[in-house]
Amino acid sequence: MSQSTDLARAQQRFARRQRLVRWRGWLPWTVGGLLVVLGGITVWLFYFSSVFAVSGVKVSGADTVPVATITQVAEAPTGTPLVKVDLGAIAERVRTIQAVADAQVTRAWPNQLKIVVTERVPVVVVTDGRNFELVDAAGVAFKTVPARPGLPEALVVGSRRDVTIRSVVTVSAALPVKLRSEVESISAASPDSITLNLGSKVKVVWGSSDDSARKAEVLSVLMRREATVYDVSAPDLPVTKGEKK
């Protein structure tokens, strides 16, 4: 009786070991099959289903540019899975808006696109005597306004207008804040003939935008004397005219 019991137990242990060996052999295939199925479901969800498809756009950073304009120009592909959207192409389209200096587009899961815009900041207003154009620090004219805002005004004429505008911006940026606030207008017939017009008919002959930082330093010292004309076009040889004794 004891021998038959031991034999039965041995057969059970052998059978369990056999099942374990078979299970271990099938386990990698089972796990692999599950991973393939999960991978297929994941690919379908993100690339082909509407679960993670674009349903709207969020815009931030827009103060003067209408959000409706940004979303219209962005042309977000509504209904397209987020992972398939060309974010760079959307950003490039938004950057074509004149008042936008830069745009970044990201995915806002599960189904939104986020557009962050950086608007151009005007540093000078350029006029031809009739129109007023806002110009940013990069020398880009991006908006025409009907009246002069509270910015230095630049009267720009001549054939090299774009280059002249960039030169004027460079000069304006180099001025100390206090002096910039005293500038009523800037005259520029060319990039090399820039003149600042201050109050009380005081003029500063600046010349070109070269060495603007140095010229600003020299002018600050020179203006300790009262004069009607300050010439810093050659900063190492500054000149004053109409100096009061």
- DSSP for 50-81? STTB--EEEEES-SSS-HHHHHHHHT--TTSB
Residue 130 maps to which CATH number? 3.40.50.10960
Residues 186 and 154 in one domain: yes
Residue 62 maps to which CATH number? 3.10.20.310
Find how far residue 124's CA is from the centre of its chain: 20
Q: Which residue type does 245 have?
A: K
Residues 91 and 173 in one domain: no
Tokens representing residue 160 in the block: 């090299």
Residues 136 and 234 in one domain: yes
Q: By the 8 A CB rule, do 240 and 203 touch?
A: no
Domain's final residue, options 119, 152, 170:
119
Q: How far is CA 216 from CA 125, 231, 233, in A?
A: 20, 11, 11
3-state secondary structure of 238: coil
- 10-residue mean pLDDT profile of the chain (245 residues): values are 59 61 58 65 69 91 95 94 93 96 95 96 82 88 85 81 88 85 88 90 93 93 92 94 76
Tokens representing residue 235 in the block: 């900063």
Burial class of residue 190 in the structure, from the number of CB atoms within 10 Å of its CB (0-12 exposed, 13-18 middle, 19+ buried): middle
Which range of residues forms the domain containing residue 93? Answer: 56-119
Instruction: Give 24-34 pLDDT, tens digit per residue.
Output: 655 565 566 56
Cα dihedral 171, 172, 173, 176 sign: positive
User: What is the reported pLDDT for 74?
Assistant: 96
Residues 170 and 60 in one domain: no
Residues 84 and 186 in one domain: no
Domain's final residue, options 87, 102, 119:
119
User: What is the reported pLDDT for 44?
Assistant: 67
